[in-house]
Amino acid sequence: MPPVDPALGLRADLEHRRAAGLYRQRRVQGGPQQPQARTDGRPMLAFCSNDYLGLANHPEVIAALQQGAARWGVGSGAAHLVNGHSAAHQALEEALAEFTGYPRALLFSTGYMANLGVISALAGRGETVFEDRRNHASLLDGALLARATLRRYPHADAAALARLAQTAGVRLIATDGVFSMDGDLAPLPDLAAIAAQTGAWLLVDDAHGLGVLGREGRGSLDHCGLATGQVPILMGTLGKALGTFGAFVAGSHDLIESLIQRARPYIYTTASPPALAEATLVSLSLARRDDWRRERLHALIARFRHGAAQLGLPLADSPTPIQPILAGSSARALDWSRALEAAGILVTAIRPPTVPAGTARLRVTLSAAHTDADLDRLLAALAALPGLDSAVTENTRTKISRT
């Protein structure tokens, strides 16, 4: 018999994804991250970046990166535990600890790696990790890497978590602070109370809250009035509101020392460039100092939601820069995204498995760098979306399921 081509199954899967409207394609950006972008060779107005404060192309951050490269070179050359941990990394960790109010912080190369590292270091076989059903994939995968028992509770439903926790020992509770596809906030005070009652670790992934919420942009914990002692583990990313790249975990001295010893994604990867740490120190300072950026951002959020309500757009209940417009089917979300693209506006269609079946949406994200004219142009294009009336009717009948 002739040999079987192992790629046949891959091709069949790719064709299935295309037919189901689930195929993903990359776009090529031709310039820096900013609202007025050049995408696939075309000028576009972008509403799909997580650069919430407009710092990714800030001249002071760029200058710090250039000066850092002149001092440190480009690459770190090794893992943190070998020879790659520089004075720039150390200074950034200390600044992040001070910013968040925790005793220590530990840099990771990405938020995905940070979540994998924390959960796999703290939980294992025979232990139970409870997670919100809408958690980021990295939190879910962390439990799988740990080989712990993963139990998912209905979205933002602390009462359901409390009931589930009575039937099984809880090692760790993990949640997004701001949910990346819905833009809503986790019930952090209730989760903190449950963690305290059960003796569990509580891990909050505040990738989309830091820089945006709270005093000086300290994030979801500060927004909710929680002390650091109520949330033993905070994960934050540097590539969203802070505009650079990387992530960190903040916690107690013993937690950070344990992660240094046990978190495989930290131990076995090359440290990020020291020059990047220098740039992040500057972006962190700008984010803390420039309250006008957050004020501008929240004014844009209010303006967008008011305009969307006047149009009857099927929005999710989000007070953050993440503003999902519910389409329902993947086909409709793609049609809407393509219609906006034809009008010169870039908004990504989010489809399963990133979101539950039947809840495909446009994920509009706002930045302090957007102008009122940018927002008006977006609203005008949204008003002309094909099939909008039927989507509004469906949304009034069936809201996003919280499970």
Residue 394, pLDDT score: 65
- Percent of the chain past pLDDT 90, that is, above it, reads 85
The partner residues of 38 in beta bridges, in order of sequence, read: 43
Reference 180, options 210, 141, 143; nearest CA is 210
35-72: per-residue pLDDT in tens? 998 988 899 999 999 999 999 999 999 999 999 999 99
Q: Is 200's pLDDT higher than 70?
A: yes
Report the C-alpha gap between 370 and 345 in whole angstroms: 13
Co-location of 279 and 333 in the same domain: no
Averaged confidence pLDDT in the chain: 94
On whether residue 41 sits in a domain, the answer given is yes
- When comparing pLDDT for 6 and 394, which is higher? 6
Q: Is 252's pLDDT higher than 50?
A: yes
Co-location of 268 and 137 in the same domain: yes
Radius of gyration of the chain (CA): 22
Greatest Cα pair distance, the chain, in angstroms, is: 70
Residue with tokens 């009462």: 159
On whether residue 18 sits in a domain, the answer given is no
Which of 289, 309, 342 is the last residue in one of the domains? 289
Residue 166, pLDDT score: 87
Q: Is 403's pLDDT higher than 50?
A: no
On whether residue 166 sits in a domain, the answer given is yes
As annotated, the active-site residues are 180, 208, 240
Which of 268, 289, 310 is the last residue in one of the domains? 289
Co-location of 237 and 296 in the same domain: no
- pLDDT classification of 392: cutoffs 50, 70, 90: low
- Model's pTM, two decimal places? 0.93
Co-location of 44 and 154 in the same domain: no
90-110: per-residue pLDDT in tens? 999 999 999 999 999 999 999
Co-location of 211 and 310 in the same domain: no
Over range 143-150, report the average pLDDT. Answer: 95
Residue with tokens 């949204």: 382
Report the C-alpha gap between 382 and 308 in whole angstroms: 8
On whether residue 3 sits in a domain, the answer given is no
126 CB contacts (<8 Å, ≥6 apart)? Answer: 148, 149
Co-location of 146 and 230 in the same domain: yes
Co-location of 159 and 96 in the same domain: yes
Which of 241, 256, 289 is the last residue in one of the domains? 289
Co-location of 228 and 140 in the same domain: yes
DSSP state letters, 56-89: TT-HHHHHHHHHHHHHH-S---SBIIIII--HHH
Residue 5, pLDDT score: 84
319-377: per-residue pLDDT in tens? 999 999 999 999 999 999 999 999 999 999 999 999 999 999 999 999 999 999 999 99
Whether residue 130 contacts residue 164, with contact meaning beta carbons closer than 8 Å, is answered with yes
Q: Is 282's pLDDT higher than 70?
A: yes
Residue 386, pLDDT score: 87
Tell me the C-alpha to C-alpha distance, in Å, between residue 198 and each of 132, 143, 171: 17, 19, 9
- When comparing pLDDT for 266 and 33, which is higher? 266
- pLDDT classification of 168: cutoffs 50, 70, 90: confident
Residue 390, pLDDT score: 67
Residue 402, pLDDT score: 43
Over range 108-115, report the average pLDDT. Answer: 98
Q: Which domain holds residue 392?
A: 24-53+291-397
| Total domains present in the chain | 2
Residue 373, pLDDT score: 97
Residue 4, pLDDT score: 77
- pLDDT classification of 16: cutoffs 50, 70, 90: very high
On whether residue 36 sits in a domain, the answer given is yes
173 in the Ramachandran plot: left (φ > 0), alpha (ψ -120 to 50) or beta? beta
Residue with tokens 């978190």: 263
On whether residue 5 sits in a domain, the answer given is no
**CATH, residue 167:** 3.40.640.10
288-335: per-residue pLDDT in tens? 999 999 999 999 999 999 999 999 998 988 999 999 999 999 999 999
Reference 166, options 177, 151, 155; nearest CA is 151
Over range 133-157, report the average pLDDT. Answer: 96
**CATH, residue 42:** 3.90.1150.10
Co-location of 241 and 99 in the same domain: yes
On whether residue 141 sits in a domain, the answer given is yes
Over range 197-216, report the average pLDDT. Answer: 97
On whether residue 318 sits in a domain, the answer given is yes
Co-location of 310 and 206 in the same domain: no
Q: Which helix (H) or strand (E) holds 343?
A: none
Whether residue 363 contacts residue 351, with contact meaning beta carbons closer than 8 Å, is answered with no
- pLDDT classification of 135: cutoffs 50, 70, 90: very high
Whether residue 203 contacts residue 142, with contact meaning beta carbons closer than 8 Å, is answered with no
Co-location of 279 and 379 in the same domain: no
Q: Is 400's pLDDT higher than 90?
A: no
Co-location of 310 and 370 in the same domain: yes
